[in-house]
Amino acid sequence: FARETLQPLLASYDESQVRFVYRDFVIFGQASYEAALASECAHDQDKFWDFHNLIFDNQQDLSRDLYMTWAADLELDVDQFTTCFDEQTHRDEITADFEYGQSLGLTGTPTFFIYGRVVSGAQPQEVFKSIIDEELASAGGEAPSAG
């Protein structure tokens, strides 16, 4: 989604029309939690998507040591990243994201909310574009207000 759908989709609209918000929904135990934590620590240094993509490309081989290697490879401040990860700096944020997802009835990922409409699973760009275009048309070209 991030590589093949998100970037082309965002390029099709201006910031007044579409805002993409990513939330952590940790459903696969400790490994998922640590992946979310590492991604958030990378986000602190503006490398969220780079780190995110590495995680999704290597889902079967995740570990703290690998995260530290990637932090160095991405030219992050490794000491800052390590402290963030080891002290679980983003624990409360990750927990809050998960609890919010549960309150919405989510059971899996990815799940998208487009102006309140639920899209479940990775879908082609055309599915997202169709919904966004419908919503923009009904709002006269302006993004509907978030409710």
Q: Which residues 6+ apart lie within 8 Å of 139 measured at CB? A: none
Tell me the three-class secondary structure of 49-85, residue by residue: HHHHHHHHHCCCCCCHHHHHHHHHHCCCCHHHHHHHH
Please report, in tens digits, the pLDDT of each residue of the chain (147 residues total): 777 888 888 888 988 888 888 899 988 889 999 999 999 999 999 999 999 999 988 988 899 999 999 999 999 999 999 999 999 999 999 999 999 999 998 888 888 988 889 898 888 899 999 999 999 998 876 655 443
Nearest to 6 by CA among 45, 40, 56: 56
pLDDT of residue 109: 85
- pTM of the entire structure? 0.81
Contact 23, 103 (CB under 8 A): no
